[in-house]
């Protein structure tokens, strides 16, 4: 079972001062996690002012910094439309990237998700298809993205377990009906993240965890690093 590390997300430092945003903070955190056996990362890119960015200089610097830690590391970033709402500018940024992430998550529910995905694939980037609801699964199923997609991200937005599972089941129904065999990764957010991790294990899916998904351990303790979260997750996944 793959456990991908969601390092930071769009969370502001006001939620947790230890969220890694700068290149130096991200590098330090990835080095620590890599030394503890983590090799697959999802990282939101930030500029020097602490704002999320898809600008070529910021993405190039982030990819270079992380890849210099080890060539064994696989990393992806977010392409979320809130990072650069101007669609033409977002496409221009992507076209100008020199250092290419291994994979990039695309939220299928967003406008222009298919066009962005095809652009990324044309640059040699594998797409992770983010499915947050049934409609997103339908959009993906009707697309021609399967060959360029390395992973389905099932990521229900409800932060209560039962509604989250209902969403997961609705997404699964579409994937199964359309015979989509791409590897699936299941994860949740905030208060439901730990329960969803257990559900991923139960269903035999890959999962992810990190300070993007939660900044608290199961006992309610606020974390000071991603490694604390990873160690807790490993206990859950390795339990018999």
CATH number for position 28? 3.20.20.70
Contact 239, 36 (CB under 8 A): no
The answer on pLDDT for 121 being more than 90 is yes
Average pLDDT over residues 36-44: 98
Q: pLDDT grade, residue 18 (50/70/90)? A: very high
Please state, as a whole number, how many other Cβ atoms lie within 10 Å of the Cβ of residue 224. 12
pTM score, whole prediction: 0.96
The answer on pLDDT for 106 being more than 80 is yes
pLDDT for res 166: 98
Q: pLDDT grade, residue 48 (50/70/90)? A: very high
Number of independent structural domains in the chain: 1
Ranges assigned E (strand) in the chain: 3-6, 40-42, 74-78, 103-107, 126-131, 149-154, 184-186, 206-209
Average pLDDT over residues 43-61: 98
Going by the DSSP 8-state scheme, the letter that residue 96 receives in this structure is H
The answer on pLDDT for 240 being more than 90 is no
pLDDT for res 51: 97
Average pLDDT over residues 33-53: 97
DSSP per-residue codes, 6-70: E--TT--TTT-TT---SHHHHHHHHHHHHHTT--EEE---B-TTS-B---HHHHHHHHHHHHTT-
- Structural domain that includes position 159: 3-238
Q: pLDDT grade, residue 90 (50/70/90)? A: very high
Average pLDDT over residues 182-198: 97
């Amino acid at each position: 079972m793959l456990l991908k590390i969601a390092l930071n997300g769009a969370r502001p430092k006001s939620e947790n001062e230890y969220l890694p945003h700068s290149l130096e903070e991200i590098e330090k955190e990835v080095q620590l996690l890599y030394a503890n056996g983590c090799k697959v990362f999802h990282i939101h890119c930030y500029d020097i002012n602490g704002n999320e960015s898809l600008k070529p200089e910021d993405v190039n610097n982030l990819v270079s910094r992380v890849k210099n830690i080890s060539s064994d590391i696989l990393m992806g970033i977010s392409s979320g439309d809130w990072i650069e709402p101007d669609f033409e500018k977002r496409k221009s940024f992507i076209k100008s990237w020199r250092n290419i992430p291994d994979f990039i998550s695309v939220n299928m529910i967003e406008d222009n998700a298919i066009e962005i995905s095809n652009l990324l694939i044309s640059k040699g980037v594998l797409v992770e298809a983010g499915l947050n609801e049934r409609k997103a699964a339908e959009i993906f199923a009707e697309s021609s993205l399967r060959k360029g997609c390395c992973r389905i991200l099932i990521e229900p937005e409800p932060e209560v377990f039962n509604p989250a599972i209902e969403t997961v089941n609705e997404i699964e129904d579409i994937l199964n009906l359309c015979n989509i065999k791409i590897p699936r990764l299941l994860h949740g957010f905030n208060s439901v993240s730990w329960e969803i991790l257990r559900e991923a294990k139960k269903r035999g899916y890959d999962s992810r965890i990190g300070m993007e998904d939660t900044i608290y351990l199961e006992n309610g303790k606020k974390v000071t690093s991603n490694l604390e979260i990873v160690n807790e997750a490993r206990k859950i996944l390795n339990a018999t």
